Amino acid sequence: MYLFDLGKLPGQQSMLIFHALARMGVEALVIVSPKSPLASIGYFQDAEREIDLSFCRENGISCMRREVGGGATYLDENQIFYQLIWKKSNPRFPVEMRQIFEGLSIPACETYGKFGIEASFRLENDIVTREGKKIAGEGGGDIGDCMVFVGGILLDFNYEVMSKILMVPDEKFRDKVYKSMEENVTTMKRELGDIPPREEVVQTLIREHEKLIGTLQPAELDNRLVERMKTLEKWFTSDRFLFKKTRKIPKGIKIKGGVEIRYGIHKAKGGLIRTVEELQEEKISEIGISGDFQFYPKDDLASMEVELRKTEFEEGKVRNKIQQFYEEHRIQAPGVMPEDFTTAIIQSQSEGAE
């Protein structure tokens, strides 16, 4: 397995690297920080609902969708990202998503420990301090024939900018988001009083990964990899990909007798679920699902939406359809059960007038 210790790369390139390596079938550990700020949304999120795109444009913050789950976040040079890429057939790595997250969190937890910060993995998909404060978020999923696992060491964090890139209903709510992050998210600087030298953190992180996955062979960006990243950048920065989950449904919302649009939201242990569905004669005719959850295989979420069409809008039937889909497709979604999707769908509300 290769080691790409890349220092700092322009914002989008720092995330494009693992997407390119996975498509090329290259197994590697990537250690990198964004040189320029970046707003990133999870694969299953709706960009227009999650990110204040106007604020990002006005402040020179690039926006991109990544091909792993999780929530919207702000990335900058004060974060050191570890990105693991391996082939699905590699027996050295676990298969179950929960085992992947828990097992591959060990190097980051041990790295924090070496600097005097006691940290541990917490379901679902966070690393927390002994006091329960989040000090790293993680994401993972499938890209082509590979799996990827991504997390970040928080040297420091810009709570103010993070609160401003998020789409919120009003400024009062934004203040609450800011205060909540300050209270519940911590960093090495907050825990230690100062930021340790970046290179010391990086080398510790590499050594801890080698304890888990074996000796790593140093590698550098070559022309083939750089060209693949450039090609991906055109797609990843396009409106077609950034807004691919956005549902362009008119706000009517009761279209006519027997036809209505409903919106649902439910907070599961594994993340927030949003749904929008069109009902015709008490059956689901169209449905869109988004959120900051993990879902593997990722492309099967769209298949589940198709499967739900023509299902009667009744709790038991919706739940049974989703449960059957989970079983037949061997879905892994840590902290998100069929009951959670069912709740979001069935408890959805109709907005608008006749």
**How far is 128 from 29, CA to CA, in rounded Å?**
22
253: pLDDT confidence band, cut at 50, 70 and 90?
very low
Residue 75: is its pLDDT beyond 90? yes
**What's the pLDDT tens digit per position in 19-46?**
999 999 999 999 999 999 999 998 999 8
**How far is 32 from 184, CA to CA, in rounded Å?**
25
**How far is 75 from 11, CA to CA, in rounded Å?**
8
Fold matches, 2-242 and 254-350: no
**What's the pLDDT tens digit per position in 286-342?**
898 999 999 999 999 999 999 999 999 999 999 999 999 999 999 999 999 999 999
Residue 353: is its pLDDT beyond 70? no
Residue 251: is its pLDDT beyond 50? no
Q: What is the pTM of this model?
A: 0.82
Cβ atoms of residues 151 and 68 within 8 Å? no
Query: Left, alpha or beta for 277 (phi > 0: left; psi -120 to 50: alpha)?
Result: beta
Residue 260: is its pLDDT beyond 90? no
Residue 129: is its pLDDT beyond 60? yes
CATH code for the structural domain at 2-242: 3.30.930.10
CATH superfamily of 254-350: CO dehydrogenase flavoprotein, C-terminal domain (3.30.390.50)
- Look at strands 79-87 and 28-34 and give their pairing: antiparallel
Would you give the distance in Å from CA 103 to the centre of its chain?
18
- pLDDT given for residue 310 in this prediction: 93
Task: Identify the CA nearest to 246 among candidates 64, 45, 55, 63.
Answer: 45
Query: Hey, where are the domains in the chain?
Result: 2-242, 254-350
Tokens of 200: 């010391």
Query: Left, alpha or beta for 59 (phi > 0: left; psi -120 to 50: alpha)?
Result: alpha
